[in-house]
Amino acid sequence: MSVSQVKRAFKYRFSPTDAQAAELSRTFGCVRKVYNMALAARTEAWTRQERVNYNATSAMLTEWKWTEELSFLNDVSSVPLQQCLRHLQVAFTNFFGKRAKYPRFKSRRKSRRSAEYTTSGFRFKDGKLTLAKMAEPLDIVWSRPLPVTNNAVGIDVGLNHLLTLSTGEKIANPRHERQDRARLARAQRELSRKARGDGANRAKARRKVARVHARITDRRRDHLHKLTTRLVRENQTLVIEDLTVRNMVKNRSLARAISDAAWSEFRSMLEYKAQWYGREVIAVDRFFPSSKLCSTCGTLQEKMPLGVRTWTCDCGTTHDRDVNAAKNLLAAGRAVAACGAGVRPQRSSPDGRSAMKQEASRREP
């Protein structure tokens, strides 16, 4: 079974010059021409109960370019022409897999004018994009910057602060469940007073409880989405701790707070969005002593009770517990990037959807 990689796309407007517009028009026309010719060839072979694959159509394209009638195909970049053959191959694969209808010919009037360039068909340098066969870069309206970065960040999760970054930034824990705890308790008391035989009133009370739960879940998920999107956009490498949340929630005094923080959901979002953006998430082994290790000199403290929030190392450096842990996580992540030691691998998930499905089974209540 083949699984496709989910990637995030970004759209920008641009204003081509007259020469660029003419070049693009030629490219669109050639893409449509090649696609229709390849489809016709494959259809003819199909009537003879023969199959023609991408490699065969690619060889046909080479032959077409050598003919006098189709020599104009050499005037445009070969990359979008090859890509349209790949698109046709995908269309036939979906047809044979009974996921789509038989491919249709592209119409000059009705079909969308488009061409796809891979990395070998364009040059992006100093914020300027130049397509193959074009002398000048496109005049693009950069409505938002491309998420291109080499930054790395260590992320320490907690309860007093939801996240502490190796940069020193601390992100507050909204505690969404605690904010609506009184409202939820009131709705649950009203539900408990409704007899099981009282159909309409009990159903109304049950919906009221469900709405409070949905409000808590929606606010929590919205906050995590905004937070993870920002972190993934700003950083190429993100280092977290491989926490076993399922074991941690067995602690009755912390279970409710840990579930409200939704560390597992945060990690799930971070991982599948990292795949969208081509980022890397590194999970450091949970036994790594990130809190007890001095990020300045490397001295390991014997004990570090949870109540200690700041401490001073023998080297004279005073540490904030969480910031120090985040810095140590970042250092450990960089070490694994260099030699692959001391961490656990990122949870395998072929695409963002499967990552979310894997996380759904272990998400906090």
| The residue count for the chain | 365
Among 23, 260, 322, 364, the one annotated catalytic: 322
Among 23, 156, 177, 260, the one annotated catalytic: 156
H-state helical runs in the chain: 18-47, 54-66, 78-96, 176-179, 181-192, 199-234, 245-248, 252-261, 263-277, 321-339, 352-360
241 carries an active-site annotation? yes
Are 201 and 194 within 8 A, CB to CB? yes
351 carries an active-site annotation? no
Are 14 and 141 within 8 A, CB to CB? yes
User: How far from each other are the two terminal CA atoms of the chain, in whole angstroms?
Assistant: 33
218 carries an active-site annotation? no
CA 146 to chain centre: 14
Q: Is 89 helix (H, G, I), strand (E, B) or coil?
A: helix
Please, what is the Cα angle at 56 between 50 and 60, to 5 degrees?
A: 115
Residue the block writes with tokens 């920008």: 12
DSSP secondary structure string, 280-333? EEEEE-TTS-TTTB-TTT-PBPS---TT--EEE-TTS-EEEHHHHHHHHHHHHH
Among 23, 177, 241, 260, the one annotated catalytic: 241
d(CA 136, CA 275): 32
Residues annotated as catalytic (active site), given as ranges:
156, 241, 322
